[in-house]
Amino acid sequence: MCGIVGYIGHRDAWEIIIKGLKRLEYRGYDSAGVALVNGEMNIYKKAGKVNDLERFAENEELSGSLGMGHTRWATHGAPSDRNAHPHLSGSQKLAIVHNGIIENYAAIKEMLVQKGHTFLSDTDTEVLIKLIEQIQMEGESDLREAVRVALTHVTGAFAIVILSKEEPDLLIAARKGSPMVIGIGEHEYFVASDASPIVEYTKQVYYPDDNVLVFLNRENMEIRDLANLKITPYIQELELELEALEKGGYEHFMLKEIHEQPRSIANCMRGRIHAEEARINLGGISEYANKFLQAQRIIIVSCGTSWHAGLVGEYLIEEYARIPVEVEYASEFRYRNPIIGKDDIVIAISQSGETADTMAAVELAKKAGATIFGICNVVGSSIPRLSHAGMYTHAGPEIGVASTKAFTAQVTALSLLALYIAKHKGSLPSSRIATLLAELQKTPDLITSCLKSEPLVQLIASEIKDSTNCLFLGRGINFPVALEGALKLKEISYIHAEGYPAAEMKHGPIALIDEQMPVVVIATKDSSYEKIISNIQEVKARKGKIIAIVTEGDTVIRDIADYIIEIPFCEEALTPILATIPLQLLSYHIAVMRGCNVDQPRNLAKSVTVE
């Protein structure tokens, strides 16, 4: 989760690091800190936001062209000044920042205490830097070797950057299971948790693999694995543009990203659809197409919003391609000894491509011989590199912690995948595939139409913003939309909300309904329309406040519901994309009216890179 920025070069490190930490603040914002080396090791850290750190350090010595910074999402130890990174070794000559969890830190700490070390924080990170120094003292080895040896003794996930007061021309970085990218400039190098702090300075990047150490000075980069074997880096060109990281006139990144969905979905489809020929071009699957055609089962593994997209994918793949699909929480799948066969396809969905539980599930499935297909947004991230095949959603950077455009892009990608398999299996006639592709191509324009309901959504938000509970109901392919709508409201407004299949309301949740309970119902004209009307009547009879998402022109539900929000008519299988838009807007405006931090909701981080 945490955000890391490191710099070695000829520029002012403080300015680069602080600007980078602000761009990474969505990854963690319990506390922030910076270490600078300029003859001395100067450490400044503070609980709170990056702005709090800036104010704290404004009259301090901030010179230096070697440094590193960190924004924290607390795991070991409460948010506080003492637990903020960077952490120092016992001699105070070494400093470290760390993203991840050292699972065996307690045993290592006990050993270090017995050797006379004392600890100033509650973190696992401080244990690691003191282990490195202990190895350095015992073996009389240099810092590079001490770091390498220390990392062979730790279990867990990490992305680390290390500085030494005594080596002002060395920055050490390493990773295992946590994201990291190295930016390559002229006589300078950058290290970060993702590319957002780097894109302003260089487009040349290197993504280290697991168990790799990177040694940087101002002139060159040396890469070695934990066995001390030298590695030749694969340098890539960043596609990210700086403008994509700015708010562009919107009050919040979340609102910007909601309004970007016509473009993000168009980008996801670009070059992949030839509707008149009923053809889908998915270059990332071609080598493994036969695996999909022969698959007896598809397993989708993901977390959070991506899990909801996977549920939509289950409906799409089973409906179009007629292959059984199971959708699993990655965090549960990896621990329950699942039955995985060599003929199974495992689809891993992750916006960041770095979700720890999803990565672990992928590694488990891969060891069992399954074919892994990754659906991710971030180019060069870990899950695409672990996968046999896959596709990028091309949604662009998503800075708001609550996922919006990533979800609709994932559903779009799953729609394309389902139709691709159906085409090659012959499970749908070409004429039907052509129709569905033509409809899918219209979704950017239809979303633009959905966004026009924002003033009405704001009005509804003002009426229900003080609610303490909310229920979301949907049927069939729109049940996952109810789950996603509830999750968005919980995430950013802190209102308790639950998503349910509408027919299941009678099996418990109906007991909660009274005149104070808003009930949001996805009630578009589809195969379940008559049933959903009955469910709405049941809520109405118990005085629930009904907010219905309906198909444009609906007059039946208009007479029953307290509020209706219309979306354009579309193919039933595409309603999850359109119906999600007003639910995102509703959650956003309720959160704003409640004074919540929309882009950085409490206790959450964008990329969940720890278990």
The yes-or-no answer to whether 3-243 and 451-597 have a common fold is no
Q: How far apart are CA 72 and CA 98, in angstroms?
A: 9
Identity at 314, one-letter amino acid code:
E
Q: Does domain 248-441 have CATH number 3.40.50.10490?
A: yes
The token duo for 141 is 């080895």
Residue 116 CB neighbour total at 10 angstroms: 8
Predicted confidence at residue 247, as pLDDT, reads 75
214-237 tens-digit pLDDT: 999 999 999 999 999 999 988 988
Assigned CATH topology for domain 451-597: Rossmann fold (3.40.50)
Q: What is the dihedral of CA 193, 195, 198, 204, to 10 degrees?
A: 120
Let me know: does 472 contact 497? Beta carbons within 8 Å. yes
Model confidence band, residue 523 (pLDDT cutoffs 50, 70, 90)? very high
Residue with tokens 């996952």: 480
- How many angstroms separate the Cα of 25 from the Cα of each of 3, 355, 386? 7, 17, 27
Is the pLDDT assigned to residue 508 strictly greater than 60? yes
Nearest CA to 358 out of 415, 314, 315, 306 is that of: 306
Q: How confident is the model at residue 611 (pLDDT cuts 50, 70, 90)?
A: low
Quick check: pTM over 0.75?
A: yes
| Residues whose CB falls within 8 Å of the CB of residue 475, separated by 6 or more in sequence, listed in order | 501, 502, 503, 522, 528, 531, 532, 535
d(CA 338, CA 116): 45
User: In this predicted structure, what is the pLDDT of residue 575?
Assistant: 95
Q: What CATH number has the domain spanning 3-243?
A: 3.60.20.10
Q: Are strands 94-102 and 212-216 parallel, antiparallel or unpaired?
A: unpaired
Which of the pair, 288 or 172, is modelled with greater confidence?
A: 172
Coil vs helix vs strand at 31: strand
Q: Burial of 452 by CB count in 10 Å (0-12 exposed, 13-18 middle, 19+ buried)? A: exposed
The mean pLDDT of 250-269, rounded to a whole number, is 94
Cβ 235 vs Cβ 205: under 8 Å: yes
In the predicted model, what is the mean pLDDT of the chain? 91
Number of residues assigned to the chain: 611
The pLDDT confidence band at residue 244, using thresholds 50, 70 and 90, is low
Catalytic residues: 2, 606
What are the distances in angstroms from CA 89 to CA 92, 100, 119? 5, 19, 9
Go through 313-331 and write b for each residue having 16 or more CB atoms within 10 A of its CB, e for each that does not. bbbbbebbbebebebbbbb
DSSP state of 558: G
pLDDT-derived band at 371 (thresholds 50, 70, 90) equals very high
| Domain ranges for the chain | 3-243, 248-441, 451-597
Q: Distance between CA atoms of 284 and 271, rounded to whole angstroms?
A: 13
d(C-alpha 249, C-alpha 257), whole Å: 12
- Residue 1 is predicted with a pLDDT of 63
Residue 481: pLDDT band (50, 70, 90) is: very high
Residue 210: how many other CB atoms lie within 10 Å: 17
Six-digit token string for 300: 């989708």
- Quickly count: other Cβ atoms within 10 Å of residue 572's Cβ: 17
337-375 b/e with 16+ CB inside 10 Å = b? ebebeeebbbbbbbbbbbbbbbbbbbebbbeeebbbbbb
Contact (CB, 8 A) for 336 and 256: no
Angle at 391 between CA 390 and CA 395, to 5 degrees: 150
* Average of per-residue pLDDT across 68-84: 86
For the ranges 76-80, 169-173, 341-345, the lowest mean pLDDT is seen at: 76-80
